[in-house]
Structure 1
């Protein structure tokens, strides 16, 4: 079923109240109403604004989701991602360190000068033959890619993020949200034989004082020691450190192994050209010349 057909069917259904009543006095196409079809996790499937489809309802209407959570229509569950990637923590050095030691400032300047010289040499080798706009464009691309690679350094981590689940026991609900100068009324009803919910809210009331309800993931920080740390937290941290180690190169280089026989390796210097293969093109040329006579 295409999304356009589903939306048309939904708008047509909201305009009919029943066989006896006929058309409804109010419908989702009214300018003072907002209608949403969301799933049991709060993601928008149908909206009057196409840019809202696929987004979480809390990002669009934080006041409505906050009220639904307080009424028990939705419940918040914390989920964990044990295969996430996070940015490593940045360690900022003290600003007074270069002032205390002149040697530190000299080393920093020397390191910067060497980096600039190496970068200049690399650019000259790679794009020395280019002229005009091509060289400038290539230089810009190089700087952008170099900066992008430095910013994309990630490491494995654990993250926690909230998930909102509809309580199936609550099939219908209605209420109001107290905003500053108005009350925002809403109605919720479950679509029969599905996990979808119909939400109708008042568009005229401004409830921007409520923040958006986001589903942002946060890195889980495991602490081994401390007065508030439990034994379970410490055991989980140790288990995660054993199973999730950062990849790095060996500290030492192993060029040989005691059980390895050096005579079994190499032998490329003993390779010689095959005489039949060298004479094969000559024979083919002689045979071809004889056939063409």
Structure 2
């Protein structure tokens, strides 16, 4: 769905909106289209996402980085009789290195919107405080596009925020996943079953090698060596 820009004097603003999700550009119209049933909100899940590790303290990472930098400097540069000024400058520059966020595997959920092709045309009026915003939506024939014409003079950003597609981390109540759970032990131990015949157990030691098969394999290997 592409927002339509009918004002020729605002080409710069329109070019910045090209390629963006319509809910980010105009949340009021998108919310009205969802309420009218033209779009249906669904939840999508990403089970291979990476999220920031909030438990890792940033100062700890800086201390480890500073410790490694100092050790590397002492082992390589101090032997060359570097003065104190360069040493301090090196430690200070190592401490000012860019902060790197620690990531960990996680599951995320993000919204998606399915278009109902049965709704070909719609129009409505949005009340935004002191003004009213009118819009018209029409399906483009022989395509999957929708033409949206809105009133640009009425700003509804205070009443309706943008609809974003940013993923959110799924917080599970259980700390362990199903594959990591410890198996529950049985309530009792069954060392005997009435249908089990104990005579069949432990008979593998009585199995002997077939002399005919051994002689045939030995004769076959000797013939292969001669040929």
> TM-score band, normalised by the shorter chain?
0.5 to 0.7
RMSD: 3.9
Task: Number of aligned residue pairs: give it.
Answer: 170
Could you tell me how far 1:120 is from its partner in structure 2? Answer: 3.0
Instruction: Give the Cα–Cα distance (whole angstroms) in 2 for the partners of residues 158 and 185 of structure 1.
Output: 39
Instruction: Give the Cα–Cα distance (whole angstroms) in 1 for the partners of residues 150 and 122 of structure 2.
Output: 12
Could you tell me how far 1:126 is from its partner in structure 2? Answer: 5.4
Q: Which of 129, 141, 154 is 1:180 aligned to?
A: 129
Instruction: Give the Cα–Cα distance (whole angstroms) in 1 for the partners of residues 90 and 121 of structure 2.
Output: 60
Asked if 1:65 corresponds to 2:18, the answer is no
Instruction: Give the Cα–Cα distance (whole angstroms) in 1 for the partners of residues 68 and 48 of structure 2.
Output: 37
TM-score normalized by structure 1?
A: 0.48
Could you tell me how far 1:224 is from its partner in structure 2? Answer: 3.7
TM-score normalized by structure 2?
A: 0.61
Query: Which stretch has the larger CA shift, 114-123 or 198-207?
Result: 114-123
Asked if 1:238 corresponds to 2:178, the answer is yes
What residue is the counterpart of 2:6 in the other structure? 28
What residue is the counterpart of 1:40 in the other structure? none
Greater length-normalized contact order (CA 8 Å, ≥ 6 residues apart): 2
Q: Does the Cα contact within 8 Å between 1:171 and 1:190 map onto a contact in 2?
A: yes
Could you tell me how far 1:29 is from its partner in structure 2? Answer: 3.2
Asked if 1:213 corresponds to 2:178, the answer is no
Instruction: Give the Cα–Cα distance (whole angstroms) in 2 for the partners of residues 114 and 177 of structure 1.
Output: 55
Q: Secondary structure at the match of 1:204?
A: coil
Quickly say closer, same or farther: Cα 1:204–1:139, change in 2 above 3 A. Answer: same
What residue is the counterpart of 2:114 in the other structure? 165
Instruction: Give the Cα–Cα distance (whole angstroms) in 1 for the partners of residues 68 and 13 of structure 2.
Output: 56
Quickly say closer, same or farther: Cα 1:115–1:186, change in 2 above 3 A. Answer: closer
Instruction: Give the Cα–Cα distance (whole angstroms) in 2 for the partners of residues 141 and 50 of structure 1.
Output: 41
What residue is the counterpart of 1:121 in the other structure? 71
Could you tell me how far 1:144 is from its partner in structure 2? Answer: 1.4
Quickly say closer, same or farther: Cα 1:116–1:62, change in 2 above 3 A. Answer: closer
Could you tell me how far 1:140 is from its partner in structure 2? Answer: 2.9
In structure 1, runs of 5+ residues without a counterpart are: 1-6, 12-26, 36-46, 93-111, 226-233, 243-293
Could you tell me how far 1:141 is from its partner in structure 2? Answer: 6.2
What residue is the counterpart of 2:209 in the other structure? none
Q: Does the Cα contact within 8 Å between 2:69 and 2:91 map onto a contact in 1?
A: no
What residue is the counterpart of 2:150 in the other structure? 201
Q: Secondary structure at the match of 2:35?
A: helix
Q: Which of 75, 78, 87 is 2:52 aligned to?
A: 87
Instruction: Give the Cα–Cα distance (whole angstroms) in 2 for the partners of residues 114 and 83 of structure 1.
Output: 28
Q: Secondary structure at the match of 1:121?
A: helix
